[in-house]
Amino acid sequence: MALQVRQACVTDLPAIYRGEESYILTWEPAHEASWRSDLERHLTRWTENLDHLKIAVIVDAFAGYSLWIPDGNYAELCTLHVAPGFRRSGVGTKLLEAYMFDAACQGFTQLRLSVRPDNPARVMYENAGFLCISTGANGYLIYERCL
Cα–Cα distance list, 1 to 31, 69, 84, 89, 91 (Å): 35, 29, 16, 9, 11
User: Which residues does 94 contact at the CB level (< 8 Å), separation at least 6?
Assistant: 3, 5, 56
| pLDDT in the model for residue 1 | 66
Enter the pTM of the model. 0.92
Rg (CA), the chain: 15
Report the candidate in 61, 62, 70, 53 with the shortest Cα–Cα distance to residue 108: 70
Q: How far apart are CA 65 and CA 46, in angstroms?
A: 11
Could you name the CATH architecture of 3-146?
3-Layer(aba) Sandwich (3.40)
The 10s digit of each residue's pLDDT in 22-81 is 999 998 899 999 999 999 999 999 999 999 999 999 998 999 999 999 999 999 999 999
Residue 62 backbone class (left: φ over 0; alpha: ψ -120 to 50; beta: rest): beta
- Contact (Cβ atoms closer than 8 angstroms) between residue 93 and residue 128: yes
- Is a pLDDT exceeding 90 seen at residue 3? yes
| pLDDT in the model for residue 4 | 96
Backbone angles phi, psi at 127, to 5 degrees: -65, -25
The one-letter code for the residue type at 35 is W
Q: What is the mean pLDDT of residues 1-11?
A: 93
User: Which residues does 6 contact at the CB level (< 8 Å), separation at least 6?
Assistant: 54, 55, 57
The 10s digit of each residue's pLDDT in 91-133 is 999 999 999 999 999 999 999 999 999 999 999 999 999 999 9
Write down the domain spans for the chain.
3-146
